[in-house]
Amino acid sequence: MKLFEERGYEGTTVADIAERAGLTKRTFFRYFTDKREVLFSGTEIFEGTVIKGVLDAPAKASPLDAVAAGLDASAVVFEQIPDRAGKRQALLDANPELQERERAKLAGLSGSVAAALRERGVTEPAAGLAADAGMSVLRVAFERWTTDPHGQDLRKLLRDALAELKSVTA
């Protein structure tokens, strides 16, 4: 993150990252496919936490409420790194290439969430719709959380975004 802050995303190379980390380029590529992936490390942990939260939601929870339970459970991942999350979001906001990658990652997460909902017995199209709606809730809450000067609780922002979604669909 410091390199990206110092040199900008475009001005930072894989060689720069590897050198700063005390690695060779070859070692870097054992862990990451490219420099974008540095900003998306930990995606598997986040996705696993969301999926577990969806699967562990109460049996009577609606599909959207099960997704909300997954997102709520995952908030702890981001709350452990609030400064990094904000800096990462600023980089994404400034770089269309990274925005595209973020959309791809969210689409993948949506697919995994839909699969978890189907495992809970939710049929299509409800599973896909709830998963996609959940990604919208996440995106809105996360944007508010990373730009909020008052440092609101991410879980509260997730619940607020979900309530707003429910109000416009009622």
Cβ atoms of 102 and 161 closer than 8 Å: no
Residue 149 in this model has a pLDDT that exceeds 70: no
Nearest CA among 167, 77, 61, 44 for reference residue 117: 61
- Say what the pLDDT of residue 147 is: 85
Cβ atoms of 55 and 122 closer than 8 Å: no
- Please report which confidence band the pLDDT of residue 62 belongs to, taking 50, 70 and 90 as the band edges: very high
Distances (CA, A) of 154 to 71, 125, 157: 10, 28, 5
Domains and CATH numbers, the chain: 1-40 (1.10.10.60), 42-169 (1.10.357.10)
- Within the chain, residue ranges assigned H as helices are 2-7, 14-21, 25-31, 43-56, 63-79, 82-94, 96-119, 126-147, 154-169
d(Cα 170, Cα 136) in Å, to the nearest integer?
17
- Full-model pTM: 0.88
48: left (phi over 0), alpha (psi -120 to 50) or beta: alpha
- Please state the rounded mean pLDDT for residues 75-91: 83
